[in-house]
Chain A
Amino acid sequence: MAAELALRFLIGGLVVSAFAVVSDVLRPKHFSGVFGAAPSVAIATLGMAFATHDGGYAAIEGRSMIAGGLAFFAYALLVGWLLLQRHASSLAAAAACWGVWLVVALTIWAVALA
């Protein structure tokens, strides 16, 4: 279990960093933002899911990811509004909206997938 977690940490860190590089170098910022929502955690996690479970396990994770993506849309909408309209600081807006992501994702999951 510890070895699997360590490998998961390594792959997750590498994939997130790789997409962050792409997001950093692209311009303008409203275009590079697309890569701020890259499937970095999904690639790392699903790669491990395929290695340790069967395809059916990954399929279930993929179905729930649709709800997570919708929650991400709400997250990006709210963070953009806070920064552009309310002039909030990036760190405060991004961190506060994690809670919104969690609430939206769990609500969709409870209503449609549980």
Chain B
Amino acid sequence: MSVSPRLGADPRRLGRTTWKEWAIRFGFGGAVAVAAGLVAHQFGPSLGGLFLAFPAILPASLTLIEDHTDKTRAAGANAVGARAGALGLMAFGLVVWLSASQWPAWLVLAAALCAWLAVSLATWLAFELARRDRNHEPAASASWPLSKDAE
């Protein structure tokens, strides 16, 4: 069964991102990581751990999508997809919580990353199938109800 016939990658999109935009992403990512460390240092790992799931990539991505395509709907679709990744973040945290005291660091992070990917993709698939079922779209011929340029 073809769930989404247009899933793929387009490396040419990287060429549209300017150095200034890369610098903003890098700076913001670094700043959030520093802030998470400072909160944990000041208030302890329990409060600091919240910031491990801070929305750091999504806001920059949404803004760039809107700048480059002038399509708020495409940015909205991106945010909808992030719901699945957010549930994956919970799985990531669960694996770290249960294994960090017993396993080596590399194994904890690798297992948590696999858990994030598995849960995120499975959730995205479930959301997608539910959406198509709601819209009565056949799976093989269905397409996201956005205009083509919104992709």
Contact = CB atoms under 8 A, between A and B. Distances in A.
Contacts of B4: 28, 31
Given A11-B33, A48-B37, A80 B25 contact: no
A13 B27 contact: yes
Secondary structure type dominating chain B contacts: helix
B60 interface: yes
Interface string B121-139: 1001000100000000000
Given A34-B120, A39-B116, A72 B55 contact: yes
A56 B101 contact: yes
A62 B29 contact: no
Interface residues of B, number: 94
Contacts of A26: 7-9
B60 to A, nearest CB: 7
A61 B48 contact: yes
A16 B56 contact: yes
Contacts of A53: 45
A8 B33 contact: yes
Secondary structure type dominating chain A contacts: helix
A21 B95 CA distance: 25
A37 B96 contact: no
Given A31-B81, A37-B58, A61-B96, A68 B50 contact: yes
A101 to B, nearest CB: 6
Contacts of A90: 59, 62-63, 65-66, 72, 75
Interface string A72-111: 1101110110111001111101110110010001100100
Nearest to B84: A34
Given A27-B151, A66-B97, A84-B76, 12 more contacts: A20-B61, A27-B10, A28-B144, A46-B109, A48-B37, A54-B101, A57-B45, A59-B96, A61-B49, A84-B73, A90-B72, A94-B59
15 contacts: A23-B78, A25-B9, A26-B8, A31-B7, A35-B85, A42-B89, A55-B102, A62-B112, A64-B93, A72-B86, A73-B86, A73-B87, A76-B85, A83-B62, A105-B53
Interface of B: 4, 6-11, 13-14, 17, 22, 25-34, 36-38, 40, 44-66, 72-103, 105, 108-109, 112-113, 116, 120-121, 124, 128, 144, 146, 150-151
Interface of A: 4-5, 8-17, 19-21, 23-51, 53-73, 75-77, 79-80, 82-84, 87-91, 93-95, 97-98, 101, 105-106, 109, 113-114
